[in-house]
Structure 1
Amino acid sequence: MAGTKDAGEVLIVTGMSGAGRTTAANALEDLGWYVVDNLPPQMLRPLLDLSELAGSSLPKVAAVVDVRGRDLFAELPRITQALRDGRHLRVLFLDASDEVLVRRFESVRRPHPLQGDGTLLDGIHRERVRLARVRESADVIIDTSQDNIHQLATRVVDLFAAEGSARHTLTVMSFGFKYGMPPDADIVADMRFLPNPYWVPELKQFTGKDEAVRDYVFSQEGATEFLDAYVAALTPVIAGYQRENKPHSTIAIGCTGGKHRSVATTEELARRLASLPGVAVRVKHRDLGRE
């Protein structure tokens, strides 16, 4: 199948064993890329043909290709050059110093894939020879000698996140304490310090998504003060999640039944947090609709 100019973006991830290919692949996957690990170079064309057929379902494809492919890996430079025609294809090469690579292999107590009966350095040197042509033609080279896994992931995100795309997905969830706390919540707030609209006859049948209930909740003493302070407290927390490459978090807002106070607060909190840079906010009302 011939390449087309509107085909999705393709990234080949390769480089030295121990330089961080797995960390880079995980970071790309968190960004929404479709990642295939340990792909023989000969399978790149069928993968890219499939991505073209899938269209918008696979807009970004990353393939990890390395010396685990054994003799097949030697074909990577030729195949990469042939695939560049008509496609937005880039090659990311991860590297590190020999000393760092030896230290990383020793820490996990695994042999180098090309070590054979020799030493770790023998395997590393053999790999450098095999990768020389690939490194020369790479579009992006990252030396990870000074990086831990979090720093490397941050560098990959900075390089390959779509402009303006979210670096953190935040779920703001309302719930009722009487149905149990959500087990997947990272942060929990309790709105039971506010009067319960359930006991106001004209509000009981409505929910926190209705204007009358919202107005009642936020007219109570301490309600807006809490929201202002809570947003101010959460802002550096979410920024820290982004720096630490924590892609998802959940803030749970509870009240007695999960119908009035928590729902109104969740809606308003989500609205405010959606203005934070690099954050995509989702709203979930876990217990709304329960009797």
Structure 2
Amino acid sequence: MTEHSRDSREDPQVETGTAAQAQETPAMPELVIISGMSGAGRSTAAKCLEDLGWFVVDNLPPSLITTMVDLGARSQGNVARIAVVVDVRGRSFFDSLRQSLTDLRAQGVTRRIVFLEASDNALVQRFESVRRPHPLQGDGRIVDGIAAERDLLRELRGDADLVIDTSNLNVHELRGKMDAQFASDDEPELRATVMSFGYKYGLPVDADHVVDCRFLPNPHWVPELRPFTGTSQEVSDYVLEQPGAKEFLDRYAELLELIAAGYRREGKRYVTIAVGCTGGKHRSVAMSEKLARRLATEGVETVVVHRDMGRE
């Protein structure tokens, strides 16, 4: 007991330990709280941040926000940016959110509040188009629910760092506004997964584009190439030397450049390109590798996946 109660100024070991603990204090993650009117685009805003690499939690009780931030701080940098979507539907819920914001401010957490707004007419049209009631309308009309929610959120709207009126925005325009606020300078505009596959194992269900390489001669019928895959130099050279192979690669890469530009304009950040041959071992693998390198030179962050290689 006496040893632990010594003055740290008289004990250099205690002083050193205190300095070490200070250095080990975890860095608090960046926090964005997304709120606003129901039907104004909260889910779209959250999805945009998720695509930008944020850790997104939907409909988290406000009392748990500080816990989530603490867990992020202990993740050793793996969770550096957290976005929380809050759906304020009751007074006690709002009071809990206000207390969490006070606690976060005391902890020195960098936090921003994004508030999604829309006119009454726009919100009514959106709820009627999906034939859903407003969560606060009860036995009344949609406009009654909107009025109740607007009154409940008035104080939070006043505290918001960013208010986005989505009355005249489509989904892509809202994503563009979120990108402008939160995308980092080194954030890639488009990510592509180039996936080779074998038709005999079925089409990839998550492919945005499917291209067929079975018009090229199959290295499977070349005895000295059969044991290898399309990742080997021998098979790659054989495939690319076939008539039409390089022309196909050039023209398809040009087509993808045109498509990629459109995706960027529309706010689409992910695309999966499936390249198929019979077994997914030779031709599709070789062409996927070459195509991925082409996309990478155009500034597209690219991942190559060989779905069926090794299944034989």
TM range (shorter): 0.7 to 0.9
Normalising by structure 1, we get a TM-score of 0.86
2:49 is matched with 28
Structure 2 residue ranges without an equivalent (≥5) = 1-21
2:238 equivalent to 1:216: yes
* Equivalent AA in structure 2 for residue 180 of structure 1: G
Aligned counterpart for 1:121 among listed residues 140, 143, 146: 143
Question: Could you tell me the percent identity over the aligned residues?
Answer: 56
Distance verdict in 2 for CA 1:43–1:290, change over 3 Å = closer
Q: Deviations over 1:31-90 (max 9, x none)?
A: 332222223332221221122123333222111123224432145345324413522211
Q: Does 1:185 align with 2:193?
A: no
Larger Rg, first or second structure (1 or 2): 2
Residue 35 of structure 2 is matched in structure 1 by: 14
Give the counterpart of 1:50 among 71, 79, 100. 71
| CA contact 1:95–1:141 (8 Å) conserved in 2 | yes
Deviations 1:1-28 (A, max 9, x none): x9x7832111100112221112222332
Is the contact made by 1:115 and 1:122 (CA closer than 8 Å) also made in structure 2?
Answer: yes
Give the 3 Å change call, closer, same or farther, for CA 33–195 of structure 1 in structure 2: same
Cα RMSD after superposing both structures: 2.6
Q: Which whole-Å CA distance do the structure 2 matches of 1:220 and 1:12 have between them?
A: 55
The 3-state SS of whatever aligns with 2:188 is coil
Displaced runs of 4+ in structure 1, greater than 4 A? Answer: 116-119
Distance 1:237 1:57 in 2: 33
**TM-score, reference length from structure 2:** 0.81
For 2:84, which of 63, 85, 99 is the aligned residue? 63
Contact 1:35 1:63 (C-alpha < 8 Å) held by counterparts? yes
Alignment check: 8 A CA contact 2:66 2:103 kept: no
C-alpha contact (below 8 Å) 1:174/1:266 kept by paired residues: yes
Q: Is the 8 A contact 1:8 1:55 kept in 2?
A: no
Question: Could you tell which deviates more after superposition, 242-251 or 93-102?
Answer: 242-251
- Name the amino acid aligned to 1:283: V
- The answer as to 2:288 corresponding to 1:266 is yes
Query: CA 1:109 to 1:217, structure 2 compared with 1: closer, same or farther past 3 Å?
Result: closer
The SS at the match of 1:51 is: helix
Alignment partner, residue 160 of structure 2: 138
Structure 1 portions without partners, runs of 5+: none
